[in-house]
Structure 1
Amino acid sequence: MLAAERRDHLLKLLARDGKIVARSVAVDLGISEDSVRRDLRDLAAEGLCQRVYGGALPVSPALADYAARQAVTPEGKRAVAATAAALVRPGSAVILDGGTTALAVARALPPDLDCTVITHSPTVAVALLDHPTAEVFLLGGRLFKHSAVACGAAAIEAAQKISADLCLIGVTGVHPEAGLTTGDAEEAAMKRALSARAADTYILASSEKIGTASRYLVLPWADVSGLITDAAADHPVVEQLATDGMHILTAG
């Protein structure tokens, strides 16, 4: 089989099965695992898959820049946001991550809700200017423009000095085996620092992120209280997570 034919075969497997297992492909095609890994490296370099140990997974569309992501599944993000906003109780403190889904959560909070919102996102903070009874604490640091959030040592140090009832975190990839992932190491570290300061952490994940993976692990499944998604309950990944004991809040 020619290299181009192997590439097409791998992409079809990824679309059909949602993953590629290098060893199985090598056996099926009668080639070495090294050949499969080389093909996967080439596909990953073109942004067509995310390499993981033993194979590859679909790459997350949420790795696009901030402006482009605002046009990706806006209805799904609004549904996730409405479900997440309902978790914020009067008088409580919530840590709200950055990104387009978190921004939708800020906009979904009732204007008269008396609460405290702690965020490292300038866009989230600005969205709450017209919420007169919401106290807003903005954490500072180096601006990571991909998600319009503060990251780095200064931001993590600031996060370590706060506490909250609830943390709402966005990720770019949700997968039973690869876990909860994102595309930047510093942003992943910041998300972990925020989650560690809350009693409960829920993951915000619109349907395009389900079954995909990015390079850096944010949190293991054991560290989160639940997943909020608009993906259908019979989606294979959602079903697997539910079987594994994850609390799923279906939005929509």
Structure 2
Amino acid sequence: MLTTERKALIQQVLRRDGRLIAKSFAHELGVSEDTIRRDLRELATEGLLQRVHGGALPASGATADFPSRQTTASSAKNALGLAAARMIQPGQIAFLDGGTTNVQLARQLPPGLKATIITHSPSIAVELAQHPLVDVELIGGRIFKHSIVTMGSISAEAISRIRADLFFMGVTGLHPETGATTGDGEEAAIKRLIACQSAETVVLATREKLGAASPYRIVPLAEITTLVVETGDYADAKQMFQHETISVVNA
């Protein structure tokens, strides 16, 4: 089998099964495990999969920068944002992570809602500036331009002093094996810290994030309380995470 044929088959298996074990796949094709590992390295370099110990997982397609993501899956993000906005109760403190889906959440908070929103996203703070009853607390720090959120020691120190009822966490991948992942190590650490400071963690996931993985782990699935997905993805998400304690909500 030619290299291009093996690589095409690898991607086919990942789409079908959601994972690939290098040793078993090499045995199935009658080639060495080193050959398959080389194929996986090359495909990972091209951003076509995410290598993990012993094999590979599908790579997340949600890794573009903030301006690019603003124009994708707008109807899906609108539905997810609306469903999530209903979760915030009067008097609660909610932390909104950065991301285009959470921007939709901010836009759809009911005008009569009196609550406190904490965020390290200037974009979300601007969206909420005109809300009549929501108090907005903006975490300072160094701007991470890819996601347009603040990070660094100043951000971490401020976050460590808060206690939130809900954390709406942005991810680029959500997989049963790797949990919630993202593309930057420092951003993953900040998200993990916010989750630790929050009573519940909610993830709003568009289709390309489900069953996919990015390089840096944020938290395992056991630390996510609720997953909000589109109507068309509800059955697949329930099946994918059936052995987890996470609650799946249909948007």
Secondary structure at 1:208 match in 2: helix
Cα contact 1:166–1:198 (8 A) shared by 2: yes
Please give the root-mean-square deviation of Cα atoms over the aligned residues, in Å: 1.3
CA distance in 2, matches of 1:209, 1:240: 12
Structure 2 matches for 1:30-109, cutoff 5 A? Answer: 30-109=30-109
State the shift of 1:162 in Å.
1.0
Kindly provide the amino acid, as one letter, of the partner of residue 45 in structure 2.
A
Corresponding residue for residue 120 of structure 2: 120
Corresponding residue for residue 209 of structure 1: 209
Kindly provide the amino acid, as one letter, of the partner of residue 22 in structure 1.
A
Query: 1:213-251 CA deviation, whole Å, 9 max, x = no partner?
Result: 00011111222211111152321x531313333211111
State the shift of 1:40 in Å.
0.5
Corresponding residue for residue 181 of structure 1: 181
State the shift of 1:39 in Å.
0.3
Corresponding residue for residue 234 of structure 2: 233
Q: TM-score, normalised by structure 2?
A: 0.95
State the shift of 1:105 in Å.
0.8
Cα contact 2:174–2:212 (8 A) shared by 1: yes
Corresponding residue for residue 26 of structure 1: 26
Corresponding residue for residue 245 of structure 1: 245
Report the count of equivalent residues: 250
- When structure 1 is superposed on structure 2, of 184-193 and 2-11 the one drifting more is 2-11
Secondary structure at 1:110 match in 2: coil
Secondary structure at 2:23 match in 1: helix
Cα contact 2:119–2:138 (8 A) shared by 1: yes
CA distance in 2, matches of 1:234, 1:122: 35
Kindly provide the amino acid, as one letter, of the partner of residue 24 in structure 1.
S
Gaps in structure 2 of 5+ consecutive residues: none
Cα contact 2:200–2:224 (8 A) shared by 1: yes
Q: TM-score, normalised by structure 1?
A: 0.95
CA distance in 2, matches of 1:250, 1:24: 36
Cα contact 2:144–2:151 (8 A) shared by 1: yes
Cα contact 2:222–2:245 (8 A) shared by 1: no
Cα contact 1:112–1:131 (8 A) shared by 2: no
